[in-house]
Chains A and B, each alone.
Chain A
Amino acid sequence: MSLTVEDLAYGYPRKQVGRDVSFELAPGEIFCLLGPNGGGKTTLFKTILGLIPPQAGRVLIDGEDIAALPRAALARRIGYVPQVHTGYFPYTVHDIVLMGRTAHRGPFAAPGAADLAAVEFALEALGIAHLATHVYTRISGGERQLTLIARALAQAPKVLVMDEPTASLDFGNQIRVLEQIKRLATGGMTVIFSTHDPEQALLCGDRVAMLQQGRLAYLGAPSDVITSDSLREIYGVDVTVAEIDTASGTRRVCIPRFSPQEL
């Protein structure tokens, strides 16, 4: 198993956010996390990444407890794509992606040929090679998200954690990011991502979990987990889950009931 989460309790000092979280992911698996706002998704991710210590339980990558790994060794195993940000300094896209190579060099070492090749490869893979010299703070939100994913690809971890990678992206960029996630997983990377759209989980999740008040309420195959019953329980709205034939095969869609006259 590339990622094992065992009986994890997580949160901040004097404030538990969630507990009893357990799951195992195989290499190349896509794991999609759904849940209401404030359900604990980001805190769970930070705990899995080793950014905040677990209150109980363990996180293992390839059988190694992450608590025992130095920071650079950990970063070579698990990568993080944060929610897209605007940045602070006018670094170029190339500069930002190059920072993904930090864990592969000593603290004083300048980037070498291998690092530059990895950056080139990541930019090509994400289809943003033409943006290399553009300034990160002045490109669009979708391009910034692709840049952060390219940085994670250059980092070459076994497991990739993505916090709402499609939030604040337009319709077209959402689909393009999901396609990239699928491609990364096909290349053998294990991907965990959170989203507010259950259809995205149906589209590219191998397994789906729903996080409610910090605990896993549902966990399983997307078509088993995402039902009108579970969606009503988690989000408090009535949803029709229907199947539609499209050019790319039969797809499930989630259509919430919209009834303003009953308010």
Chain B
Amino acid sequence: MKTGWNGRLLPLLFLTACLIALVVLAFAVGKYRIAPVDLYRLIWAKITGTPHDLPPAIETVVFAVRAPRVIGAMIVGAALAAAGAAYQGLFRNPLVAPDILGVSSGAALGAAVGIFLSFDVVAIQGFAFLCGLGAVATVYAVGSTVRGQDPILTLVLSGVVLGSLLGSCIALLKYLADPYDQLPAITFWLLGSLASTTGQDIASTLPAVLAGMVPLYLLRWRMDVMSLGDEEARALGVEAGRLRIVIVAAATLMTAAVVSISGIIGWVGLLIPHFARMLVGPGFARLLPASIILGGAYLLLVDTLARTVAATEIPLGVLTAFIGTPFFIWLLATARRGWQ
């Protein structure tokens, strides 16, 4: 075929291979090093149900400590990148990321309130999730009440405005919080981390992530049309208004779900879709899988760095910003092709 479909699948295969290599690396490195051979033997023994002669500490490290963290990093990265790809296409704006509609700041406020009121961990996550969804619903309500000429611009501006209001509320809570007990917890959560991710976190997050990702993948061909703008999309036969609500809801669900376990991790949703677009082009049928794989691989890499490069763990959100900012400037300066 003339469009080179098969040629564009190659980057996806390459990315998948990188991801697998990273997973092995992430399991191997850390305070307790595990040789890849031991890892293979352990997993093989687990699959076949045969006993192994490895020290029990290895089994604990692999399954109880590293597995939730590795899987968690991939889920969080994949969800943020997929949501970013959807938001960027939908709002036709290169600077749109999952935080633009207030999801992240809403979830952050929810978590801060939960910590301030001394909720338990599950309640804090649930509260973060609900506040993230609530923030987007508010932005959407404001955006559709204010009938401007450009509905997308109105929506994005409402998101920015609400985001800064929520930021002020978080600042107020930090000011009021108990400086010895609550303030470090709030700050830690706002910086983003996967250090305390458990298997239960993953079990509770995965359904919400899938519930957002599956509709996005099913609607991948419609997403391309939506990126032409409302008017053209409708003239081509798409119920643009209804479809936008579905896509925003799906992307928001994913974002709120992962933010509630990892805290605020910026830049992934902004950068990864750009990079994926440079590799496989803008067609959503390829862009979405590429963003998912690349997002998962990127956050896994950053999280592995966060727990290995220094004696103490570096907050994940800080590290993604340190890597993301120069990368984004490089993108702006050199690679117009990723955008136009």
A residues contacting B by CB (< 8 A) are 13, 46, 49-51, 70-72, 74-76, 79-80, 82, 86-92, 94-95, 99-100, 102-103, 105, 107-111, 116, 132-133, 137-138, 155
Contact = CB atoms under 8 A, between A and B. Distances in A.
Instruction: Return the 10 tightest CB-CB contacts between A and B, nearest first.
Output: A103-B237, A75-B237, A89-B282, A80-B235, A72-B237, A108-B218, A137-B340, A102-B236, A88-B92, A71-B239
A13 B222 CA distance: 29
26 contacts: A46-B231, A50-B234, A51-B234, A72-B238, A76-B237, A82-B231, A82-B235, A89-B227, A89-B277, A90-B281, A90-B340, A91-B281, A92-B281, A95-B3, A95-B282, A99-B228, A102-B237, A103-B237, A105-B221, A107-B219, A107-B222, A109-B221, A110-B285, A132-B3, A133-B3, A155-B236
A108 B340 CA distance: 27
Main SS class of interface, B = loop
Interface centre among B1, B89, B228 (most CB of A within 10 A): B228
A86 B238 CA distance: 21
B34 to A, nearest CB: 42
Given A70-B239, A82-B231, A89-B277, 16 more contacts: A51-B231, A51-B234, A74-B237, A75-B235, A75-B237, A86-B340, A89-B339, A90-B277, A91-B224, A92-B281, A95-B281, A95-B282, A107-B219, A107-B222, A110-B221, A116-B1
B89 A89 contact: yes
B340 A87 contact: yes
Nearest to B235: A80
A94 B340 contact: no
Interface centre among A51, A80, A86, A102 (most CB of B within 10 A): A102
Contacts of B238: 71-72, 102
Contacts of B237: 71-72, 74-76, 102-103, 155
Given A51-B234, A91-B283, A99 B224 contact: yes
Main SS class of interface, A = loop
A110 B4 CA distance: 16
Nearest to A109: B221
Nearest to B228: A99
Interface in B1-33: 1-4
B95 to A, nearest CB: 13
Interface string B288-316: 00000000000000000000000000000
Nearest to A77: B237
Contacts of B235: 49, 51, 75, 79-80, 82
Interface residues of B, number: 31
A249 to B, nearest CB: 36
A146 B250 CA distance: 36
A105 B231 CA distance: 19
B2 A133 contact: yes
Interface centre among A89, A90, A102, A103 (most CB of B within 10 A): A89
Contacts of B281: 90-92, 95
B234 A102 contact: no
A198 B234 CA distance: 30
Contacts of B277: 89-90
A102 B221 contact: yes
Nearest to B278: A90
Contact of A75 (B222, B224, B236, B282): B236
A46 B231 CA distance: 9
A205 to B, nearest CB: 23
Nearest to B4: A133
A113 to B, nearest CB: 11
B59 interface: no
A95 B283 contact: yes
Contacts of A75: 235-237
B178 interface: no
Nearest to A87: B340
Interface string B63-80: 000000000000000000
